[in-house]
Amino acid sequence: MQKRILGKDRLEVSAMGLGCMGLSFGYGPATDKKDAIKLICAAYDKGITFFDTAEAYGPFINEELLGEALEPFRSKVVIATKFGFKEGKPTVGLDSRPLTIRAVAEAALKRLKTDVIDLFYQHRVDPNVPIEDVAGTVKDLIREGKVKHFGLSEAGVNTIRKAHAVQPVTALQSEYSLWWREPEQEILPTLEELGIGLVPFSPLGKGYLTGKINEDTKFGDNDFRNIVPRFSEENRKANQSLVDLLGKMAKDRNATTAQVALAWLLAQKPWIVPIPGTTKQHRLEENIGSADIKLSADELREINEAIAKIEIRGARYPEQMQKMVGR
């Protein structure tokens, strides 16, 4: 797989990473540990060198999973993890106090079975802690050799600029896909100006852009999508035209709907590295295959013109969670 560079401090990663949250958290029961390790190792064997986790995924069990799975080839991969929630639990609230950041770093190092965190993100901006203090704390951790690179997640433009002035930000992680293009308005121009990479999570719209979800789909009891407005039955039905468009283009290219969606994302900027997640080997192979699909200028224009005529329905987060993004 080709490599891409994140940030001015040039963090080299595979052109596509693996988002590991769903193996432990968010989309139903956790994957069997042996199966999860097998999938992570398969991703590495197929060229993925960029793996994304967080203390909040579980909490803690996803980091432990990655620590065990990646230990045999730790020196050849990049691990990103995150701090920012009280007790590692999003439902408890935010906590990016310097002492907490340090404590999370020490605990993550042990769970990940490593002596350094390659990319350490603030998971969500904490309005009670100046971002300068957050960036300064990570800067100290970098100086001490415990962290290599600093990242932000779902931060707004002002926060990005303030943090970057204290400690250069290597990457911003935010949702970005054909289903959610808001970052194009302010975020992408700011990242390009400052030389910061973008790591889109949910690049397949939490599964919707695979074409395997429709208005009749039923999610498990502990599946996060049950509370996402965009995944209500009526909104799934209303948004079907987007998936139909991608499906038509995919058929013309002998590809899948998901592959076209990921290829579109990779074509936007050379410093964008999506991290689709999956629990299935065949989906992993499908996602990786999208890195070999090169959409022409005419195809990209066709997609953009068609998308401009489609009104996407439904918020991407419940109201309370939406308040925590873009600060």
**Res 28: pLDDT:** 85
Domain boundaries, the chain: 3-322
Task: Assign 324 a pLDDT band (cuts: 50, 70, 90).
Answer: confident
Beta-carbon contacts of 253 under 8 Å, excluding residues fewer than 6 positions away, are: 260, 293
- Is residue 57 among the annotated active site residues? yes
**Res 54: pLDDT:** 98
Find the catalytic residue in 57, 121, 176, 208. Answer: 57
Distance CA(20)–CA(40), nearest Å, equals: 8
Across the range 217-221, mean pLDDT stands at 92
pLDDT at residue 319 greater than cutoff 90: no
**Res 288: pLDDT:** 97
**Dihedral (CA of 119, 271, 210, 178) sign:** positive
Across the range 184-199, mean pLDDT stands at 98
Residue whose token pair is 């209500």? 232
Does a cis peptide bond (omega within 30 degrees of 0) precede residue 59? yes
The backbone torsions φ and ψ at residue 169, rounded to the nearest 5 degrees and listed phi first, read -85, 125
**Res 211: pLDDT:** 93
Q: Which of 119, 107, 118 is nearest to 75 (CA)?
A: 118
Across the range 4-22, mean pLDDT stands at 98
The backbone torsions φ and ψ at residue 319, rounded to the nearest 5 degrees and listed phi first, read -55, -45
pLDDT at residue 327 greater than cutoff 90: no
Contact 109, 146 (CB under 8 A): yes
Residue type, 253: R
Contact 117, 110 (CB under 8 A): no
Q: Domain 3-322, what fold?
A: TIM Barrel (3.20.20)
Beta-carbon contacts of 97 under 8 Å, excluding residues fewer than 6 positions away, are: 126, 129
Contact 191, 218 (CB under 8 A): no
**Res 227: pLDDT:** 94
pLDDT at residue 326 greater than cutoff 90: no
**Res 222: pLDDT:** 87
Contact 86, 125 (CB under 8 A): no
Contact 125, 169 (CB under 8 A): no
**Res 318: pLDDT:** 87
Distance CA(60)–CA(53), nearest Å, equals: 9
Distance CA(149)–CA(139), nearest Å, equals: 9
Q: What distances in angstroms separate CA 88 from CA 168, 277, 319, 326, one per listed residue? A: 25, 21, 21, 20
Residue whose token pair is 């066709």? 302
Task: Assign 22 a pLDDT band (cuts: 50, 70, 90).
Answer: very high
Q: Say how many C-beta atoms besides its own lie within 10 A of residue 186's C-beta.
A: 14
Residue % of the chain over a pLDDT of 90: 92
Burial-class residue 5 by CB neighbours within 10 Å (0-12, 13-18, 19+).
middle
Contact 63, 81 (CB under 8 A): yes
pLDDT at residue 267 greater than cutoff 90: yes
What are 71-110's pLDDT values in tens digits? 999 999 999 999 999 999 999 999 999 999 999 999 999 9
Distance CA(248)–CA(269), nearest Å, equals: 24
Average pLDDT over the chain, rounded to an integer: 96
Task: Assign 255 a pLDDT band (cuts: 50, 70, 90).
Answer: very high
pLDDT at residue 317 greater than cutoff 90: no
Terminal-to-terminal C-alpha distance of the chain: 34
**Res 294: pLDDT:** 94
What are 23-67's pLDDT values in tens digits? 999 998 999 999 999 999 999 999 999 999 999 999 999 999 999
Task: Assign 70 a pLDDT band (cuts: 50, 70, 90).
Answer: very high
Residue % of the chain over a pLDDT of 70: 100
Least confident of 11-15, 135-139, 294-298: 294-298
